[in-house]
Amino acid sequence: MTPFEEDLKKALARVEPPDGFTERLAARIGALPARKRRPVYWRWAAAAAAAAVLFSGVSYEHERQARGEAAKEKLLLAMRITSSKLQQAQHQIEEVESH
């Protein structure tokens, strides 16, 4: 066995803990503050906030869709009225010209 191997053997030799080590360790663990758990209501609040964001997003899109459809209908109504009045003017002109 080489000196190096002897040193290694010594270093890795099993060493019994000193007397009272286990008790002292258990006492120190008991003295540590208990790990704080995040309260449950935070999870509910986060879920409610996510639901509110989702709901407001959906309702905004729904409202935008409704406003857009209403604007489109108004636009088509305006086009119909304008076109019909221009047609009326054209007919009147034709009638005047024919007399």
Contact residues toward another protein (CB under 8 A) are 67-69, 71-72, 74-90, 92-96
What CA–CA distance (Å, rounded) separates 69 from 27? 73
| DSSP-derived secondary structure letter, 93 | H
Query: Looking at beta carbons only, is 5 or 95 nearer to another protein?
Result: 95
Taking every pair of Cα atoms in the chain, the longest distance, rounded to a whole number of angstroms, is 134
- The distance of closest approach from Cβ of residue 81 to another protein in the complex, given in angstroms and rounded to an integer, is 5
- The distance of closest approach from Cβ of residue 52 to another protein in the complex, given in angstroms and rounded to an integer, is 26
- One-letter amino acid at 66 equals A
- The distance of closest approach from Cβ of residue 45 to another protein in the complex, given in angstroms and rounded to an integer, is 36
